[in-house]
Amino acid sequence: MEANIKLTIGIVCSSFVIFQLLFHFVSYWFSARVSSGYNSLSIDKKIEWNSRIVSTCHSLLVGIFGLYLFFFDEPTIADPLWGDPTYVNINIATASGYLISDLLIILFNWKVIGDKFFIAHHCAGLTAYYFVLTSGALAYIANYRLLAELSSPFVNQRWFFEALKYPKFSKVNVINGILMTVVFFIVRILAIPPICDEYHVDDQNHKRMHQSRLSHQTRESQE
């Protein structure tokens, strides 16, 4: 258990440092080389651009890894409530590091990207992730939440197009909008009923197992 705690803390700290580096250094260097319009943006626009680059990297990282776990992580698939959450916890710890990093970025650039909704959203997310990481429960459900991040790159891409003044109905804008709608529908709406069903069934199984243990213990005490 102690080793798992150290691993989790290490991943959270590493994630925090990496996303800070992405915002302060990598995004400036990368964006200037891949987009000719980046250098012409105002300072405020560059700050939000870099923030969205970090958001996109985080979303792709935890979303793709979460998708892999969703289909192939046998322990959590077999037991969504109490299955071995080792790999899911790694993903959640990575997301936690990002949320702490993004909170810091928002606070230090409040006049540009400050938003009370994002503060509340990040704090709520960190609270939920802390519960999952410390209790070991609901890892499968938490990982499903991370799948929703797969729609964020398309939302950010739409903002990038607007910042670069792409025509609203240009081909790339329309394609991005269609992909954003499809991915949003799949990861945030379509998968909800099966997840809820698995959670409900597994919860009922655990209740029956618990009641069975209590009955067995009662019989033994009576004997």
**How confident is the model over 52-106, as pLDDT tens digits?**
999 999 999 999 999 898 888 887 777 766 666 788 899 999 999 999 999 999 9
Asked whether residue 109 carries a pLDDT value surpassing 60, the answer given is yes
Residue 213 is inside which H or E element, if any?
helix 192-222
DSSP secondary structure code for residue 165 in this structure? T
Answer yes or no: are the C-beta atoms of 104 and 20 closer than 8 Å.
Answer: yes
Asked whether residue 131 carries a pLDDT value surpassing 60, the answer given is yes
Residue at 118 is within a domain: yes
Answer yes or no: are the C-beta atoms of 148 and 95 closer than 8 Å.
Answer: no
Q: State the pTM of this model.
A: 0.84
Residue at 103 is within a domain: yes
Residue at 56 is within a domain: yes
pLDDT of amino acid 207: 43
Residue at 194 is within a domain: no
Residue at 198 is within a domain: no
pLDDT of amino acid 210: 39
Express as a percent the part of the chain with pLDDT over 90: 58
Residue at 192 is within a domain: no
If you search the block for the tokens 């209740």, which residue do you land on?
Answer: 207
Answer yes or no: are the C-beta atoms of 184 and 151 closer than 8 Å.
Answer: yes
**How many structural domains compose the chain?**
1
Residue at 211 is within a domain: no
Residue at 6 is within a domain: yes
Looking at 38-42, 72-76, 129-133, 176-180, which range is the least confident one? 72-76
Residues 147-167 pLDDT 10s = 889 999 999 999 999 999 999
Question: Could you tell me the residue range of the domain that residue 90 belongs to?
Answer: 2-148
